[in-house]
Structure formats: structure tokens, C-alpha cells
Structure 1
């Protein structure tokens, strides 16, 4: 199951995106999570792994480029996409250069184009993960990484935070 996080401060835009992605969600086994608050979305990114993150550029508390830069820090393997009604060259270049955005989606979007973009993002993510897996295998073969380190890395990528333990002041293990 793949996961996509959609962020836009306008609820009606989120619902329209969700409707546009219904078919591709079924085809790709895609679970969609909607957020109107960048802060809530960042919190969720720290709790669960996402394959794709789509964010609007213009939001009242945090612009989309800054949000996607935070996404890149929290989940570097998530494919990031920018959504905006603005066709400003500097906005687009900032998104690409600073947040390493895979695609820029113009509002209003063409539903078929959106589906193709998400499908392409899926291929991009699979290729990226395969490249990383092969590089890790090579490091293990060269003795640069132990099999245990490789497994811990794989687990952390699939479930962020799973390899970390939160300790209480009395030495007890804290559970979320």
C-alpha cells in the first residue's frame, strides 16, 4: 500500500484532488491523507512514512517550498510535488532547487495529467528505492555496512522512528 499526503489550506481543493485521484488510488493501492494545516502535516510526517507529498504553494502560515524542504528533511525518499495557481518562474525554480520537487502541478489541473504525474512519481520512487537497495548491498559486500545496519536502515525507511527508543526520566520506555 502506498501513501500520499495532500496539503492545501483550502478544503474544497483537497476534496477535488481526492476525487481526481480516486481511480489512480485504486490502481496503485494508494491511501490518501488530507491536511489543511502545514503544522499538522509536518506532525503526521514525523509519525508515518509517505511515498508522495503534494503541497500547495500559497498557504497562510508556511509556503509550500518551505513545507516541502521540511518534508525532504523528515522523509528524503518521499516524492515531492508542488501545486499552485502561480506560474511565477522564481516560485517554480525555488521549488525545484530548494525542495527538489519532482513535478509542478498547475491549478486548475487536468485530471488525466494528474493521474499520469502520480503514476510517474510512483515509478520514480520505485527506481530510487531500488537504487538505494543495490547501493546498500554493495556496501555490505565491500564490508562498509553490516547486514544488521542494512536491515535497521530498511526498517527505518519503511517505518520512521522504529529504530529509536524514547526513554522516560526514570529509565522506562515511553510508548506513543
Structure 2
């Protein structure tokens, strides 16, 4: 089911503060397959080259905001679950993140390891359930097409 060879959840963490990237990686590298990016454009390159399950992004970044980055990601690959981090009580950004970035969850910075870990686990649960539903749906679609074909053959003969 999972594309990762080591069966770890793959997470992309995007933040323009290098210290945050280091501490995220240090905290979660044993449990998850971690990718980090210092900007939205670097993160987009990573998503283009690697299967990513969950994306966690900071909102306030110089070149593109977290929400703008997530909007780009949706065009590229709508599959990964999206989590927004923001250190400000920036409700406008949160509302945009929900509406435009279609985020799964929003957390305040600085994040707590436990809360972030629980959010990752819940996001991944939903991610895998959604993937299974889509697989089931496409199998049903195929079966339906085959049945219609057989029915048409019967009616024509």
C-alpha cells in the first residue's frame, strides 16, 4: 500500500527558519521519513520527486506564504494531507488555509512534540482511509463498466 520502502510515513516540513527544520528533523527522524525545505519553491521540487504523505508548513515565509505554497501543491498533487503552522494569531491566514490550502489541521507555533505527533497520526489515518476508498471506487467503476458491456452484448445478441 505505501510507496516508501521502509514503510515510514513520509513527511515534508517547510519552514524558512533553519533551526526549526533541524529541530523537527531531530525530533521525528527516527519515527518518520523526513524531508525538509527552507522555502515553498524548494518544497515543490521535493514533492515533484518524492512520494509525500503529509506536508507541514509554516505560514509566514518571505518568498511565498504557507497558504500560497499549499495552493500550488494542490495543483501538483492533491493527495498529501496538509498541516499549517503559524506563530501568530493570524485568523485570516487560518481561514485562507482552510478555504484555499484545504488544510487538514492548523497548529500554533512553537509546536509541541506530542500535539504535532498526534496530528500527524490522525492525518495519516485519514490519508490511508481516503486512498483505500479511492482504490475501491475505481475498482467499482471498472466492474460497473464491465457489467454494462456484458449487458449490452446480451441485449444485442
Q: TM-score, normalization: structure 1?
A: 0.75
Larger radius of gyration: 2
Aligned equivalent of 2:90: 88
Aligned equivalent of 2:12: 5
Aligned equivalent of 1:20: 27
| Per-residue deviation, residues 129-173 of structure 1 (Å, max 9, x unmatched) | 0110111111111118xxxxxxxxxxxxxxxxxxxxxxxxxxxxx
Aligned equivalent of 1:68: 70
- The 1-side partners of 2:89 and 2:28 are apart by 23
Aligned equivalent of 1:168: none
- The 2-side partners of 1:142 and 1:104 are apart by 39
Q: How many residues align?
A: 139
Select 1:123's aligned residue among 122, 125, 138. 125
Q: Is the CA contact (8 Å cut-off) linking 1:64 and 1:82 kept in structure 2?
A: yes
Deviating runs (4+, > 4 A) in structure 1?
none
Shift of 1:71: 1.1
> Are residues 1:42 and 2:44 paired?
yes
Unaligned segments of structure 2, at least 5 residues: 1-6, 147-157
- The 1-side partners of 2:25 and 2:106 are apart by 17
Please tell me the root mean square deviation across aligned C-alpha atoms, in Å.
Answer: 1.4
Q: Is the CA contact (8 Å cut-off) linking 1:57 and 1:84 kept in structure 2?
A: yes
Unaligned segments of structure 1, at least 5 residues: 145-176
Shift of 1:19: 2.9
| Per-residue deviation, residues 86-126 of structure 1 (Å, max 9, x unmatched) | 12211111001111100111101111111101111110101
- The 2-side partners of 1:132 and 1:21 are apart by 29
Q: Secondary structure at the match of 2:85?
A: strand
